[in-house]
Structure 1
Amino acid sequence: MSSRFVEDGSFFRLRNITLGYSLPTEVAERIKMKRLRFYVTVQNAYVFTKYRGYDPEVSSSHGGANTGLIYGYDYGSYPQPRIFTTGINLTF
């Protein structure tokens, strides 16, 4: 085994961020609603790392093989996707 390709795999991941705004009750009641809320959510927002691969959260084994020689080996799997979601909550 060689340590030629060993890298620091430490990271800090912002997994979920949600920002929302609820209209004041008086404003919502003027448009005949009890509550009106707008929101935006981001999943897998950002990863702070110096790791040069796709994702520092690499799989612990490959192909079901469970030997101690391949733990933490990066097989180039796809990074986790960043997902944006927007929505409106209405209560009548």
Structure 2
Amino acid sequence: MSSSRFIITVIGIDKVGIVAGITQTMAQYNVNIVDISQTIMDDLFTMIMLAQIAEDNFDLSAFQQAMSEKGTALGVEVKVQNEDAFHFMHRI
């Protein structure tokens, strides 16, 4: 993996516990938040984070699966993308 940083997006109907649930799962995988932006528009919750890991042998697939499952449990959509892939997909 060329980057140890990830873009994590969370979108869904606002309710109590979204940030706590998402960050709890991140902590279980030792993923650190580098930068975060979160807003609520009417009742729509949106959050984007730049996150980073320290381990060289990090299992991105397992983390993506865990985050997706947590999102389903919370009723939100969670996407985890490697920073390099995110930049490549969103360049003009």
- After TM superposition, the score normalised by the length of structure 2 is 0.22
**Higher helix residue share:** 2
Rg larger in 1 or in 2? 1
- After TM superposition, the score normalised by the length of structure 1 is 0.22
With CA pairs under 8 Å and 6+ residues apart, which has the higher RCO, 1 or 2? 2
